[in-house]
Structure 1
Amino acid sequence: MNYVLLGKRIRDERLMQRLTLEKLAERTDKSINFIGQIERGEGKPSLETLVDIANALGVTVDSLLYDNINANDNSISKEVLSLITSFDDRGKRFILDVVKRYKYFHDINNQ
């Protein structure tokens, strides 16, 4: 979870609605400092807090997490690439074979 992206999304939504930190804190029954920490990516909100923030802003939790979904997809790709580049040619061929077999069976099962 990229808390900086989450905080930025929350802050952008709050500002778009012309809400102050104080007003959002009041609506969520959280402290101004905690909401500020979340918006700066320094605080890690619980699921309950995230739902409270989404409700206070009148948006869905998925809309607040949207950037994280894309960021996680990218980080997985980077991790896979990093691991594969560390393999020798034999290891890379093995991984390529596994991926081709996975794709083949995945394509067959989704027809």
Structure 2
Amino acid sequence: MASLNVGHLGEYLREQRRQAQLSLRQLADAAGVSNPYLSQIERGLRKPSADILQQIAKALRISAETLYVQAGILDERDRDEVETRAAILADPSINERQKQALLQIYESFRKENALDADAAAADEGGGEQPQPTN
């Protein structure tokens, strides 16, 4: 299954590189990797580390999390959470105390919603008891 992700990642990278109108060599130089290594990634022969993916994403001016999802390192929900946290932390209009408060609120909402989803799933499983009437 990992090889499928690597191949899919390679196709995705090639498409992103072409949309950015970069040659393989130009992207390799910008990302700080060798030309043959990048070629092997695009052909699905090599699985790059998260650090290399981050360098490539920066060179392509795309989200590293997007590449992590393509590589199977993150799933879509993880990516959304990481991107939300990154956006909060990167906002220059709020101070560090405010950023931490927002992150705590965000996490509490995520936990609350996960508990609600678990409860709803349990109810759908037939575990609901009749409610007494007064």
Q: TM-score by structure 2 length?
A: 0.50
- Alignment-derived partner of residue 24 in structure 1: 27
Give, in angstroms, the shift of residue 25 of structure 1.
Answer: 0.7
Map 1:1-40 to 2 at 5 A.
1=2, 2-40=5-43
Q: Distance in 2 between matches of 1:43 and 1:34?
A: 8
1:57 to 57, 60, 85: 60
Mark the runs of 5 or more structure 1 residues left unpaired by the alignment: 74-102
1:10 Cα deviation from its structure 2 partner:
0.8
1:106 Cα shift?
A: 8.8
Look up the equivalent residue of 2:122 and give its one-letter code: Y
> In the alignment, which of 22, 38, 47 is matched to residue 44 of structure 1?
47
Structure with the greater relative contact order (CA < 8 A, sep ≥ 6): 1 or 2?
1
Matched positions, count? 79
* Correspondence for 1:104 among 106, 112, 122: 122
Q: Give distance in 2, aligned partners of 1:29 and 1:67.
A: 20
Paired letter, 2:44: G
Partner Cα distance (1:68, 1:29) in 2: 19
Superposition RMSD in Å: 3.1
Structure 2 runs not aligned, ≥5 long: 77-120, 128-134
Percentage identity across paired residues of the two chains: 31
User: TM-score by structure 1 length?
Assistant: 0.60
Q: How many Å separate the matches in 2 of 1:106 and 1:29?
A: 52
CA deviations over 1:84-103 (Å, ceiling 9, x no partner): xxxxxxxxxxxxxxxxxxx3
Distance 2:8 2:33 in 1: 20
